[in-house]
Amino acid sequence: MPQMDDAERLEAILEVVDGINALSGTHIILVEGLKDVASLQSVGVRGEFFCVQSGGGPVKAAEHVWHSGKQAIIMTDWDRKGGTVARSLRDNLSALDVRYDDRLRADLAVLCKPYVKDVESVDAVVELLRGRASGQNDNYLNRM
């Protein structure tokens, strides 16, 4: 990916948010926990969420999506654990013939990786980039 300035990175992150929202009527957003839901909602993501960890794990998450008749958006962290959960979700969804999108997760990971490794911090990255775009300093990262 070519080098991006803060404004371009912010715009690209918000495009991913728009992409999630465009699918939210027909997809369930699979996240690891409630902090992920709060972070995504605070940057504008709307839709039905399912928390994989508290909801019984990847098997239960896949069954929930299958029963709903919808498709899934996999939105787990991009650390080792999140990658493991994402793989398990892909396997379980595929076993039930449920279609899923994991491209948006990959895009968000690339855009946020210089700053954070988890979905629950996406709102902090957006706040940081908005602050920089408006000429404020980046003390916010020190609070993460």
CATH label of the domain that carries residue 16: 3.40.1360.10
Task: Give me the chain's average pLDDT, please.
Answer: 93
Residue 64 lies in a domain: yes
Residue 99 lies in a domain: yes
Higher pLDDT, 96 or 135: 96
- Whether 24 is covered by a domain: the verdict is yes
Confidence of residue 134 (pLDDT cuts 50, 70, 90): confident
Mean pLDDT of all residues in 45-61: 97
Into how many domains does the chain fold? 1
1 located within any domain: no
Alpha carbons 53 and 124: distance in angstroms, whole number: 22
Q: Which residue range is the domain that position 12 belongs to? A: 6-143
Query: Which residues make Cβ contacts (< 8 Å) with residue 22, sequence separation at least 6?
Result: none
Q: How far apart are CA 136 and CA 82, in angstroms?
A: 32
User: What pLDDT score was predicted for residue 3?
Assistant: 81
pTM score, whole prediction: 0.91
CA distances in angstroms from 5 to 92, 122, 123, 124, 142, listed in the order given: 38, 17, 18, 17, 20
